[in-house]
C-alpha cells in the first residue's frame, strides 16, 4: 500500500514523502517487498497554498467569506455547548471611497492591508478577522461574558482605525462605523448575526459615523 509521511532531511529540513510497498515473487520462488519513497514536498506545498487561497482574502491575508462562515459556525457550536456569548462586528470604513478616488486603487489597496493588520493586532489570536467585501470587515469574538466586556475592545478598534496611514507616500485618514450583534441575544445562526450586525452598522452611519452601535441596544 501507500502512506504519506514526513522525514527529516540531513540538513534539518522536513520533507513530505509518499512511501509505497509492493510485494513481489522472485523467479527462484523467493518472496519480498519493494519499498519506494517519493519526495512530494513541492506538491504538498502547492496544495497548502491553494487551500490557503481558498480560505483567505488574497489582498489582505485575513479570512475570506468562506472561512468566516466556517469559523462562526464552529464558534456557535462551542458557545451553545459552553453557554458563552459571541460578538459579531460589522465594520464599514468611512471615507474610503474618497481616498480611492483621490489617490487611486493602489493607495486604496495598501490602506486595506494596513487596516486588516491593525484589526488583527487588536484582537486575540482565537478571534477572527475577515474581509467581507470591498471596504467591509467582520470580526468574530468568542468567549464573551457580557456586553460590557465588548465596549472597551470596540473603542480601542475605533481609535486604532482612525490613526493616520501612510500609503504609497500619501498621508491618509479614515474612520469606521461598527455594528455589533451578540449571540444568543440577537440570533442563533450565522446569517442572523451578520445581518443584525450589518443593520446596527447602518444605524451607526446614520448617527454620524466613527462610532459603534449594538443591535440589541436601540439607544
Active site residues per annotation: 135
Closest residue by Cα to residue 105 from 163, 28, 167, 48: 167
CA distance 115 to 46: 28
- Is residue 85 within 8 A of residue 79, CB to CB? The reply is yes
Phi, psi of 58 (to 5 degrees): -70, -25
CA distance 191 to 198: 11
Q: 177-208 b/e with 16+ CB inside 10 Å = b?
A: bbbbbbbeebbeebeebbbbbbebbebbbeee
Strands 165-167 and 136-144: unpaired
Closest residue by Cα to residue 87 from 155, 160, 148: 148
Q: Which residues pair with 7 in a beta bridge?
A: 15
Amino acid at each position: 500500500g501507500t502512506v504519506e509521511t514526513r522525514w527529516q532531511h540531513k540538513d534539518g529540513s522536513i520533507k513530505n514523502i509518499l512511501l509505497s510497498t509492493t510485494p513481489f515473487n522472485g523467479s527462484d520462488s523467493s518472496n519480498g517487498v519493494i519499498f519506494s519513497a517519493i519526495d512530494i514536498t513541492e506538491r504538498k506545498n502547492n496544495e497548502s497554498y491553494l487551500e490557503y487561497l481558498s480560505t483567505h482574502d488574497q489582498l489582505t491575508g485575513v479570512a475570506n467569506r468562506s472561512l468566516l462562515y466556517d469559523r462562526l459556525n464552529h464558534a456557535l457550536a462551542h458557545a451553545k455547548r459552553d453557554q458563552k456569548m459571541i460578538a459579531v462586528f460589522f465594520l464599514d470604513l468611512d471615507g474610503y471611497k474618497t481616498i480611492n478616488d483621490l489617490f487611486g486603487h493602489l493607495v486604496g489597496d495598501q490602506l486595506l492591508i494596513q487596516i486588516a493588520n491593525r484589526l488583527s493586532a487588536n484582537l486575540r489570536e482565537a478571534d477572527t478577522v475577515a474581509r467581507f467585501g470591498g471596504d467591509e470587515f467582520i470580526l468574530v469574538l468568542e468567549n464573551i461574558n457580557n456586553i460590557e466586556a465588548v465596549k472597551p475592545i470596540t473603542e480601542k478598534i475605533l481609535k486604532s482605525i482612525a490613526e493616520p496611514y501612510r500609503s504609497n507616500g500619501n498621508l491618509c485618514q479614515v474612520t469606521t462605523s461598527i455594528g455589533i450583534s451578540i449571540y444568543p441575544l440577537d440570533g442563533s445562526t450565522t446569517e442572523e448575526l451578520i445581518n443584525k450586525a450589518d443593520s446596527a452598522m447602518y444605524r451607526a452611519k446614520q448617527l454620524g459615523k466613527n462610532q459603534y452601535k449594538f443591535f440589541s441596544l436601540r439607544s
